[in-house]
Structure 1
Amino acid sequence: MDNLTEFIFKPIGIIHSCYTQKFGIPRQPGLVTAATAELELLPPFNRRECLNGLEVFSHLWVSFIFHHTLSEGWRPTIRPPRLGGKKRVGVFASRSTHRPNPIGLSVVKLESITQESDKLSLQLSEIDLLDGTPVIDIKPYLPYSDHIIEASNGFAPPPAANKTVTFSEQVKSFCQQYQQTTGRNLYLLTSQVLSQDPRPAYLQNSSGREHGIQLWDVNIRWHTTPDTFHVNYMEPVNNESDSSFTTRRH
């Protein structure tokens, strides 16, 4: 085994995701069903025969690289958000991105396989993957063996989406126009993301603050009360002068 101390992995694809920044990504896959992504396969793996038979599976395991934290290195202990960001546990008792080998693993839903000329892609949903994530492998998810009913959740019990999310009338109108133009259900995505409370642990007991997030190509602002998040502002990231796709703050 002395000659197997290092391995080199080549990305098989790249993720194009609704999550263009780390803030707002749910802490686990499957929590936000409206979250979508495209996994574009890279040469020489963009060959249709590589996917033959995959279409009969509903879900996939996606192995990927935590590319945004590579430069930060690994940490022997971390503070999980589920423990309030104060108590430390070992890195191997966590799903932290700061790992000795920065490999992530997510279960995602396979919506379809699409091909346009030489571009071969998997359309995914229920994802927790950052835009630009390099993928190193995909495998079918098998519920009879991969779903262990009696497994323990440890210190990370299933989260409850306990925040009520409301929208101003202007924002509702924006979401309707955006969906008509792009086919993306921004209203549902925003509602599901915010209901999970994406704020860091030290801010989750605060209220009255304004926060911002970017989903797809839209900047979103909301303010907090103890039990409600109110979305009062949206505008395109790259077309801020287009008044037809801009809401005003109230």
Structure 2
Amino acid sequence: MDWKFLEGLLSGVNKYSTAFGRIWLSVVFVFRVMVYVVAAEHVWSDDQAHFDCNTLQPGCKNICYDYFFPISHIRLWALQLIFVTCPSFMVVLHVAYREERERKYQAKHGADRHLYDNPGQKHGGLWYTYLISLLLKTAFEITFLYLLHYIYDSFKLPRKVQCDVSPCPNLVDCYISRPTEKTVFTYFMVGASVFCVVLNICEIFYLITIRLVTLKKRGLVHTSSIMKVRRNLD
């Protein structure tokens, strides 16, 4: 998987993010993508090859592995990283749309005329786009955490599992390779994901608070203007 391509796309998101968004992006690349690429992939690379069962029955080992690991942790995390980063592109596309409108407006009315004070400023439709992207990222994070826990019934990998699925002749003991190391990486990735959820929630409250404060200031200014007009009329 080409993570450099994903990093190049997300680098544009950093320009339009709040402080919470920049921290989130750093956590995703330093504590999730880099750990995934540098270490986690290698830890799970021999997962199926070193999944040993105390039977020589043909097909039993493969069936038991598929039963206990319907989808690998690595592939699930790869999907999770793709899904949680994709909503950020909504913001980049919205800003690009604004910049194109600005270019056409200036071409028609002159370079000194502006349709937007700053195409990347989070107001109007872009504010809603940014908020929706945060809600989607949070929803995807929580969904994948639930899936990981639901599929494996725990974040901790057992040392031994017992399988009696056909064509296994009886109850077979199977042993997972490096269960402690894999459990450590699983908890680390889960912890990083939970921290990203917390950052997203903080950013959502931050955006809403700033929005309410701005609207309140505008309301006070509008009320003050009306009062001045009334005093002048009196």
Report the TM range for the smaller structure's normalisation: under 0.3
Higher relative contact order (CA 8 A, sep 6+): 2
Given the two structures, how large is their TM-score scaled by the length of structure 1?
A: 0.23
Is the helix fraction higher in 1 or 2? 2
- Name the one with the larger strand percent: 1
